[in-house]
A and B are shown apart, each in its own frame.
Chain A
Amino acid sequence: MKIDKPTQQWELAFNGDWATSVAFVGNNKIVAGNRTGDIYVWQIPDEVPKDEDEGEKDEKKKDGFPNVFPVRKLVGHTNGITQLLVTPDGKTVVSASLDRTIRLWNIDAETTGESEVVLDTRNREVNARGKRAEDKEKILNAPGCKVQEVASTATLEGHKDWIKALNISHDGKRLISGDDSCFTIVWDIASLKQVSSWHGYDRIWVSSAALSPDGQTAFVAEYAGRRSSFDCPAPQVRLWDATEGKLKNDLLKIWTPKVKDKDRVDSYGYFQTCGKILKRGLICAAYSNDGKMIAAGQGGETDTGMIHLIDAESGEIVRSVAGHKTGACDVKFSADSKFVLSSGRDTTVRICNVEDGKEVANLGAGRGGQFKDWIHAISISPDQKRIAGADIAGMIHVWTLGSQS
């Protein structure tokens, strides 16, 4: 990945409920989902439109960055989308949802219908400001964009609660998913069958999961939300044998060596101790392409959400980077494993050097009052030149990492 004066190129309008997830399909297609369960596909032009005359420029200023409309809609989920990812061959999109299913999609498949959607309500409102009544009416009630509907090619069922964790091995052979009943499943993508599965404790959730590049080791973090009198099991961060579903390493034991096993319970003291490392749970995780490092981000509403870089072999935290004000949301490694990219509740995407932990770029800017809008998810294009971020305010930002792009 080469980072040279990153700039924003596009701002795709995705008004409605929160944009929660985003993924590149190839270098010019973006798929994004929201909290209602809608998933759309955008085709991004190679060239960003240039400002040719003053009038057009003014319009663009009002809109922010240029927008294009989606071309396809992936229809099937009945509740919010939590994760979206694409297989390394770029052929299959995988989505996880609060409707307790995982769906697989071929976004180029034959369409099943067509619908008209309005996703740019906010842009219309901005453009209508100060206009005469009839012009305003025209802008606000303009036809929406036509999208071709696509049905999923397969549905993976096996979870009985919200699926919030989903990840894929870099070899593209296995998926891992985790739900709020603390049930983790490793899937074989070719056969769509379960390779292994295991239950954690009751009343605690799988908050993040990742697979090693070869799909043999699973990183799984478990955490529950608010508690009354610590009335839930203690958090867990563990490495598992993904084929056998057997425990390989308990990372919290490595990170808190002074705590005796008998004290690793739902007590105030233990929550205080591991809370310093986990804050409100590790809610995002990724393996580096070379398999040497795991990144896991402190989520929930916390003071500063750091990204821990964990040595995959020893389990030790090598360093903690980024630091998103009030919590991290998503984390990814660059393909060369040199950079870790994270998004957070401060409307920013931070890019840090894995080697020394230094922040090399900070995309976006805080928006909102005391509490900022979140960049809920990020994705890196296969050519490593673009980053997309799903903004809860109802837009997908697309940045280019190099001015030469």
Chain B
Amino acid sequence: MWNICPRHEHLSRRALLKGSLFTAGGASISNWGSLFQSDLAAAEVSKKKKHCILIWLNGGCSQFETFDMKIGRPTGGLYRDISTNLPGTRVCELMPNIAQRMDKLTVIRSMRTSQIDHPGGIYLMHTGYPRAANVRFPEMGAIIAKYCGEQDTDLPNFIKISSQGNAGAGFLGPKYHPFNLDRDGRLPTFSTSNLDEKIEMRRHGLRDFVESQFAEKHPADPARMHREAYQRARRLNNVQEKFKVDAEWEKSRERYGDTKFGRRLMMARCMVEAGVSFVEVGQSGYDTHADNFTGHKALLPTMDRAWSGLLDDLEERGILDDTLVVWMGEIGRTPRINNRSGRDHYVRSWSTALAGGGVKGGLVYGESDKDGVDVKDNPVTEGDFFATIYSALGLDPEAENFSGVRPIPLAPFGHNVVKDILA
């Protein structure tokens, strides 16, 4: 049995029986977790047309310079707090625009996660799971693409714009792999064919013929993945116009701030409006082991303007209620300020924020102690955070996909959905 059943095609008896209950007409069972229970759930959720935009603060933004200030304490740093439109809540002076939109945000001041380095943290906060040798966990974007995305669409359902995270679709397979735009939010140059359409089609026909012949004799996933990738690339040609946003940018430049990061977030809005279920937009440079204060001063005003512009734009277009905006990096930063005027990595107590679809606005959840050294109330782990995000989007965090024969829930075992946050 082991000799004739390749690993990637192997299903346990339990999984096979479970899957068969949902199998109609003898449809072929594919791997990559697309067991039918999962597919049906995905089809059901995708009807709700939920979207998610992840604002990724690469390197780990400081909670002390954003949402969890400790003014007057030795850990407090150089910035002062300002009042917000949420009575009793104050945030850093570097975020005056977000301060006036706190009624739309849920801020979590009590994140406590498990991976303190960048590679581990980036993986963790993209997948919800720590790295493991035997499982390739999918990123949140891939899961949301699977469950919330339209399955038969020319647009990718998982787009990244100048962002990090290399877990990709993991065991969900290439169909949900992220499509990367360049840092200005433009299509990469390779995505546009420079051939005459007739020549292109003739080449496509020939390649398709050769690949079909090959696939008959080699029914392995790499061959299928290759064909799928080409198919997706070809379908992307049908929607090239969606990525041409220069005119839109001229209209939006003021709202988002005249920055590349602002343009990326506007692009994210355009993609969501076009039907893309998950867009991740990155801003790099937060790893401020040295010169933390000037570092954050260089980055946060740009982020503040663009993020607040995005929230306004989504709201005005009536899609904020269906779009969850997640704001996070992979780690927080230390309470102690080192002799480089910097803050190092810290995961014992840090902050994230959510806004839009599925979550309450005007809420600060959890609390750190007086110096921001530890969580005082309501700790939120990575598992809790991911489970809450999935719940906000209408997904069951315990829904399972399969890595080989191993069932993997969307959010890690032992998680708790933070129900106080959900709308």
**B-binding residues in A (CB < 8 A):** 17-18, 35, 79-80, 98, 162, 180, 203, 205, 224-232, 300-301, 345, 368, 371-374, 392-393
Contact = CB atoms under 8 A, between A and B. Distances in A.
A77 B234 CA distance: 63
A301 B78 contact: no
Given A79-B78, A368-B339, A228 B260 contact: yes
Given A371-B339, A371-B340, A374-B339, A225 B78 contact: no
Contact of B298 (A232, A345, A393): A232
Contacts of B295: 225-226
B158 interface: no
B302 interface: yes
A200 B339 CA distance: 31
Contacts of B301: 203
Nearest to A371: B340
A231 B339 contact: no
Nearest to A393: B339
28 contacts: A18-B341, A203-B259, A203-B302, A225-B291, A225-B294, A225-B295, A225-B298, A226-B285, A226-B288, A226-B298, A227-B298, A228-B260, A228-B283, A228-B285, A228-B299, A228-B302, A229-B162, A229-B284, A230-B260, A231-B259, A232-B298, A300-B291, A300-B294, A301-B340, A371-B339, A372-B339, A374-B339, A393-B339
Q: State the majority secondary structure of interface residues on B.
A: loop
B339 A224 contact: no
B360 interface: no
Contacts of A301: 290-291, 340
Contacts of A373: 339
Given A203-B302, A228-B285, 20 more contacts: A79-B78, A79-B80, A80-B78, A162-B297, A180-B297, A205-B297, A225-B291, A226-B291, A226-B294, A227-B285, A228-B299, A229-B183, A229-B260, A230-B260, A231-B260, A232-B302, A301-B290, A301-B291, A371-B339, A374-B339
Interface of B: 74, 78, 80, 162, 183, 259-261, 282-286, 288, 290-291, 294-295, 297-299, 301-302, 338-341
A225 B297 contact: yes
Contacts of B294: 205, 225-226, 300
Contacts of A98: 78
Contacts of A232: 259, 298, 302
A228 B161 CA distance: 13
Residue in B285, B291, B340 whose Cβ sees the most chain A Cβ within 10 Å: B340
Contacts of A35: 78
4 closest cross-chain pairs (CB), A and B = A225-B298, A225-B294, A226-B285, A301-B290
Contacts of A224: 298
Contacts of A17: 74
B56 to A, nearest CB: 11
A19 to B, nearest CB: 12
Nearest to A161: B297
Contacts of A203: 259, 298, 301-302
Residue in A203, A230, A374 whose Cβ sees the most chain B Cβ within 10 Å: A203
B156 to A, nearest CB: 22
A373 B339 CA distance: 6
Contacts of A368: 339
A180 B297 CA distance: 9
Given A180-B297, A203-B301, A229 B78 contact: no
A231 B259 CA distance: 6
